[in-house]
Structure 1
Amino acid sequence: MSDKTYNVLFLCTGNSARSILAECLLNRLGQGRFRAYSAGSKPLGRVNPFAVELLQQEGYAVDGLRSKSWDEFSGPDAPHMDFIFTACGNAAGETCPVWPGHPASAHWGIADPAGDDDEAKRAAFRQAYERLHARIARFVALPLESLDAAALKAELDAIGRMEGRQ
């Protein structure tokens, strides 16, 4: 095992829901081995209240969570990213900044947790959380130090195709 801490950036267009959930999940499940961040191409400027509600229910501290631009992570003073994952389809199709060091990347698309009423939205956010939890749990279990680039890419892509908690 390496003592390296891996930096991971989760991208979504608005950086208000799925990428925020993923950031919190990885910071918890990664147990110090990973440092997660999130950002968006067109940040909404606020975290979705349903995301905040769910995270609070799950025991996460939500102070300091904010919707932010991916520009914060593409400049010379930004932390070096080891991994970049898109969490929504729009972000996967957008032209991203050039990330220094060519981090490993994959699309881990999660359906937009929208609904017609509050209960439908809560259920959709719960489903998004559960799917992200499953993917992130599998990611943190990978033997990163022993995978070559091709094997790592295959694993990351397979994680992106996962459904639910496994």
Structure 2
Amino acid sequence: MSDKIYNVLFICTGNSARSVMSEGLLAVLGKGRFRTFSAGSKPNGRVNPHAIALLDEIGYDTSALRSKSWTEFEGPDAPQMDIIITVCGNAAGEVCPIWPGHPSTAHWGYEDPHGETEEEKRASFEKIFAQIKQRTEAFLALPEEALAPEQIRATLGRLGEMSF
């Protein structure tokens, strides 16, 4: 097994739910193999409390979570990403910055969690969280060679085609 630690950025438009949950799940389930980040093209300014509650349940430190712009990851002082994954349809269709180092990119789409009542919202967040977890576990179960530079784009793309 390689000792490489991969930097992974998850992007969604608002950076309040799906990208944040993806960041936390890969960080926890990846057990140190990944440094995870999340950002938004148009951050809405706050992380959804339902996302925070689910991440707290799996032991992810949510104390520093905030909704932030992807521009924080563009500059020369930003960590260089190995992988960038969009998790919502809007972000996948936007013109993204040119990322330093030309990381591998993929789209792993999830519907926007929603609901009228708090119970419906909680159930919707739990459903999307379970989908993110399922895709993350499939990613982590891959052999190391699936992350090799000549394989990773295809690997990420196949995972993005998973259906739930």
TM-score surpassing 0.5? Answer: yes
What's the TM-score, normalizing by structure 1? 0.92
Structure 2 vs 1, CA of residues 100 and 144 (structure 1 numbering), >3 Å: closer, same or farther? farther
Provide the alpha-carbon RMSD of the alignment.
1.6
Contact 1:40 1:67 in 2 (8 A): yes
For 2:44, the equivalent position in structure 1 comes to 44
For 1:139, the equivalent position in structure 2 comes to 139
- 1:149 CA drift (Å): 4.7
Structure 2 vs 1, CA of residues 46 and 35 (structure 1 numbering), >3 Å: closer, same or farther? same
For 1:29, the equivalent position in structure 2 comes to 29
For 2:108, the equivalent position in structure 1 comes to 108
Matches within 5 A, 1:78-157: 78-145=78-145, 149=149, 151-157=151-157
Spell out, residue by residue over 1:59-116, the C-alpha distance to the aligned partner (whole angstroms, 9 max, x if none).
3332111111100111100001000000100000001110011111110010000112
For 1:10, the equivalent position in structure 2 comes to 10
2:57 is aligned with what amino acid? Q
Spell out, residue by residue over 1:34-58, the C-alpha distance to the aligned partner (whole angstroms, 9 max, x if none).
1110000111111011111222233
SS across alignment from 1:14: coil
- List runs of 5+ in structure 1 lacking aligned partners: none
Contact 1:41 1:69 in 2 (8 A): yes
Contact 2:15 2:40 in 1 (8 A): yes
Question: Sequence identity, in percent?
Answer: 59
What's the TM-score, normalizing by structure 2? 0.93
- List runs of 5+ in structure 2 lacking aligned partners: none
In 1, the alpha carbon distance for the partners of 2:91 and 2:146 equals 30
Which is worse superposed, 100-109 or 145-154? 145-154
In 2, the alpha carbon distance for the partners of 1:146 and 1:45 equals 36
